[in-house]
Amino acid sequence: MNKKIIIGNWKMNPSSVTDAEKLFKSIKKSLVKGVDTVVCAPFPYLQSLKKIGVTQNFALGAENVHFEKEGAFTGEVSTSMLSSVGVKYCIVGHSERRAQGETDEMVAKKVLALNKIKIIPIICVGEKERDHSGFYLNTVKEQVVASLSLIPKASFKNVIVAYEPVWAIGSSALRAATPAECHEMIIFIRKCISDISNQATAHSTRIIYGGSASVEDAGAFLNFGMADGFLLGRASLNAKSFGEIIKIASINISK
């Protein structure tokens, strides 16, 4: 069984560094040994959050990165910049970035650049909608295979794949996926990884769920859904919910 990981994606929240520090401190009180916790925060907050204190089990993540090392890329941030402020994880391919033009090819380059500097990529994959013929499986397969295409197979265990069906994300979501839908996709994603590496590698890659995940359904996603953890949007902006989900993950590992 892979170690559980609960990742918060704060997106473009909260609105000030003071509020960010407050939220980070509250989340820090809920940490549980045996569960990795990560907060992916907006760039301007990273350095202040690091000063509050990070540990092996409580790490900082970024929400985006550029794949080039340096140069004339106005508004972009490089892997070494992230590393220099203590970032250990970075989201790539989030559907909100794909909607702004991030392609599978860019995701692959970002995964390569992050892998080189030992920042763990959190690779978001997921279909926009489900069709009865199952073509959505091809979409997810293409995203998984493309995003891993530039790194060595030995590095697959150092990435996290987040299954985030686009229809389940955010306040306009239809609904969260069901634990059964999550289970099916986690098996499918593992098979995709196994096909391009081997079974042992596929088993050691952490695959998590994201999209309207909440305190109410967290246990079911971890048990029946077979998720190795969560990428939480809205639930990560509420320290109480975030903390409860961390606790649920810890109960789940001791079973």
65 forms part of the interface with ligand PGA (CB under 6 A) = no
Q: Is 94 a catalytic residue?
A: yes
Find the catalytic residue in 63, 96, 102, 164. Answer: 164
212 forms part of the interface with ligand PGA (CB under 6 A) = yes
- Footprint of ligand PGA on 81-100 (CB under 6 A): none
**How many chain residues are in contact with ligand PGA, going by CB under 6 A?**
14
Which of 234, 246, 248, 249 contacts ligand PGA by CB under 6 A?
Answer: 234
DSSP string, 37-53: EEEEE-GGGHHHHHHH-
Is residue 4 within 8 Å of 30, Cβ to Cβ? no
CB of 232 to ligand PGA, least distance (A): 5
User: Alpha-carbon Rg of the chain, whole angstroms?
Assistant: 17
CA distances from 200 to 153, 194, 196, 205, 251 (A): 11, 8, 12, 9, 26
Nearer to ligand PGA, 77 or 235 (CB): 235
Name the one range near ligand PGA by CB under 6 A: 13-21, 66-74, 165-173, 183-191: 165-173
Which of 121, 229, 233, 243 contacts ligand PGA by CB under 6 A?
Answer: 233
Burial of 83: CB neighbours in 10 Å, binned 0-12, 13-18, 19+? middle
